A and B are shown apart, each in its own frame.
Chain A
Amino acid sequence: MSTSMMDETLPTNIEKKESKLAKIGQFREIGLLVFIVILVIAVQLRNSSFLTLENISDMATNTAILSILAVGMMLVLVTRGIDLSIGATLALSGMIVAQFVSNHSGTSPIVAILMGIGIGILCGLVIGGLVSYLGVLPIIATLAMMNIFRGLTYMVSNGKWISSYQMPESFVGIATSKLLGVNTLIIIALIVYAFAIYFIGHTRTGRQIYAVGSNPESAKVTGISEKKVFIIVYTLMGGLSGLSGVLWVSKFASAQGDTATGYELSVIAACILGGVSIAGGAGKLSGVILGAFLIGILNNALPLLNVSPFWQKGIEGSIILAAVLLNVMVKRGVERNNLLKRRV
């Protein structure tokens, strides 16, 4: 990060003090974690059914899809990009897969999931191509493709919905079944995290994504192909959206043309909450998962709090704002401490 800049801007007397907020350790997202704990306690005090096993399981299941998407979005944001098309990709993949399984009721759930991922990858490749080879700005490319994918969804569905009676049991079972007592959606999300930890931290390509994001010029000099990185991140994002599409349709047992409209904003919010820098280069998986969880907790807790629906949105926004502010404060503190250590 911009260590040299901070060195210059900080007055000397402040440099000597260690930030109290950040004494706890090196963990940058500690602020977010503390905030989540406080929020959970506050909600629990108002509604005792919040911290029950059933509710926690519901909450984790409902947040699984969001957190899967947030992992992909983090990589996109790290390369200084953004992907607005994920809601539409999700709807398109969900719709096509739902149509397929309704006509071929013998389809194995695994095939359905792979099909969804495949459709998502195709969508992602198109965006990756636009961004890397035609040099279209990510926000423009994905905005355009968002509309195109959404339109395609209406076209393939002919404006009709696929309802639960048309879906075979095995397909709906993807989201309701359990493995070792844990909902399959949660398991799939955990697999995605595990893959992401390996990919980001232990593969050359994973590191290259961060290199391109934090300093494109030096990445180029080092011989990293920016085009390849762009294609990879948007394809991964597409694949994850496609996967989410299948999970979404299976979870709600219904495929609509307007499925997940505007969902991309929740996903981006989860990433930003988790400390991913919109300017690229910075973002940790642990933070993003915490961010997704905070959004999940809000979605689950606000209805439980029995607040007026007119206030819900406002409360949600204020909590997100407070969380971001706290996180930024703690993060600054941690960084300052790190700088101090470096000086010694």
Chain B
Amino acid sequence: MKKLFMLIVTSVLLLGVLAACSQGNSSGDSQKPSKDKEDDSGQKKYAFIFKNTGNPYGEKMMDGFEEAIKELDGEAILRAPDQPTAEAQIQIIEQLITQKVDSITIAGNDPDALQPALTKAMDAGIKVISVDSAVNAKSRITHVNQADPEAIGRVQIEAISEMIGGKGQIAILSATSQATNQNLWIEYMQKELEKDEYKDIELVKVAYGDDLRDKSVSETEALLKTYPKLKGIIAPTTVGIAAAGKVLTDKGLKGKVMLTGLGLPSEMASYIESGVCPWMYLWNPIDVGYAAGYTASALVKGDIEGKVGDKFEAGRTGAKEVVEDGDGTQIMLGEPFKFEKSNIAEWKEVY
């Protein structure tokens, strides 16, 4: 018992020392008296916070961000919490404020909960922008939107209409019922469906698979059973579309029930190649991260202020303009990218 106790005590102490070491490093940076001078001559520090670790989509976005920052001769700090929670992101923001970074680019886990931490960062002179999942307008200078939500909703309806011949029942398989992104896209899909050319298409249900494999499978199976005449499924979420692809494959419904939506090319490669999902869309996360890097840099250098009408060059993604977004402003990338049989082979290796 004594031995065990000592073991625990020593390991706790050891961990404490290690933690202190890492903190020492960061605070050491910020305590340098010559900091201002160093900033002028040296590299700017651009931080990126993603939702959680271990997400290939996030990894690609961080790669793109790092690429842009390298081109701009800055230092990229890439961080992500273990769990996709706002609390974990707040801790990272606090650390970055202490580190005195020049900008924070964040894919928010919650639109509102991050406000106090991000406001504190902005008060400290840090340029804050959100990317992918927006935080509310008060906690950011501007937002980099992966693609125009209107375009995302529209292209998916156009796709499903083409696949089913403009006639029949369709259903949507979304992530959680609370997911901001998905809900917005679904809203635009419903708006698009009101158009006269889609009058023969009936949206029978919006199901929620919660981005869990097992639940998405159950929801897809339930859709197929409840609506035997179902012609198409739109799944604007990575896990959902792959789960639906798997169910349609296993049940031999290829060609009978069409599938499209937004998904990772690697996850969807087999289903696109087999024809279960003729084509689907996604923006390119590398470009999203890349454009966010250029936006952060333009703000730090003072080229733009994040006001409507500001224009700047975002490297290879071309000229960008700040536009209105509710109370705040945003920068939009173009239409989502189409993945189909002809190009899926090269993209499935990428992400």
Contact = CB atoms under 8 A, between A and B. Distances in A.
Our verdict on whether A and B bind, yes or no, reads yes
A62 B208 CA distance: 17
Interface of B: 1, 4, 53-56, 58-59, 82, 177, 205, 207-208, 213-215, 217-219, 221-223, 225-226, 228, 239, 242-243, 246, 250, 264, 266-271, 273, 348
Given A159-B55, A165-B273, A254-B267, A310 B226 contact: no
Instruction: Give the secondary structure class of A's interface.
Output: helix
Contact of B226 (A47, A165, A259): A47
Interface stretch (A76-84, A209-217, A297-305): A297-305
Interface residues of A, number: 36
A157 interface: yes
Nearest to A258: B54
A169 B1 CA distance: 52
Given A62-B218, A254-B267, A165 B348 contact: yes
Contacts of B270: 163-165, 253
Nearest to B269: A165
20 contacts: A47-B225, A49-B228, A151-B82, A153-B54, A154-B53, A157-B54, A159-B55, A161-B266, A163-B264, A163-B268, A163-B269, A164-B242, A166-B266, A248-B213, A252-B213, A254-B242, A303-B207, A303-B218, A304-B225, A309-B207
B348 to A, nearest CB: 6
Given A164-B270, A164-B271, A252-B217, A303 B222 contact: yes
Given A163-B267, A164-B242, A164-B270, 14 more contacts: A52-B225, A154-B53, A163-B266, A164-B246, A165-B270, A254-B242, A254-B246, A258-B54, A299-B218, A300-B221, A303-B219, A303-B222, A306-B205, A306-B226
A254 B218 contact: no
A257 interface: yes
B177 to A, nearest CB: 4
Chain B interface, DSSP helix/strand/loop, else mixed: helix
In order of increasing CB-CB distance, the 3 nearest A-B pairs are A303-B222, A257-B54, A165-B269
A135 B59 CA distance: 40
B250 A134 contact: no
Contacts of B246: 164, 252-254
A318 interface: no
A309 B267 contact: no
B217 A62 contact: yes
Of A52, A163, A165, chain B has the most CB atoms within 10 Å of the CB of: A165
A166 B270 CA distance: 9
A51 to B, nearest CB: 11
Nearest to A167: B270
A160 interface: yes
A252 B243 contact: yes
Interface string A111-148: 00000000000000000000000110000000000000
